[in-house]
Amino acid sequence: MAGFGQGTRGYPRSRGRTWRRTGPDRATLGIIGSICAVAGFFALGIVLGPVAIFCGWQSMGRTWSGDRDVPALVALVLGAIDTLLALIALVGMAAWSNGLL
C-alpha cells in the first residue's frame, strides 16, 4: 500500500529527482494519443487534438532526440493537424455567422 506522497512504482516523486516513464507507460501514452488524434478528426477536434499532442510528447520522453516510437510521432503530428483544422473551422464559422462572407 502506498503512503501519502509515495508511489507504488518504486521511483520517488519528490526530493528533486526527475523520473522517466517506463517502456509500457510510454507505449500506452503513444497509443492513447494516436486514438485521440484519429477520433479528433471526427468529433471534438479542438479538445482531442491538444490531448493527442500532449500524450505524444510525453510518450516521446519530452525530447526530440533518441529513439522515437511510431505511435508517439503519429499522435504528435496528427494532433497538430487536428488542432489546426479545428481552429480553422472555428474561425471560419465565426466569420460566416457574423455575415462577413
Q: Which segments of the chain have a pLDDT < 50?
A: none
- What is the tens place of the pLDDT at every residue in 56-72? 988 887 777 666 678 88
Residue 93 to residue 101: CA distance in whole angstroms? 10
Q: Where are the beta strands (DSSP E) in the chain?
A: none
The Cα 80–Cα 4 span in angstroms is 37
Q: What is the pLDDT of residue 93?
A: 83
Neighbours of 59 (CB within 10 A): 26
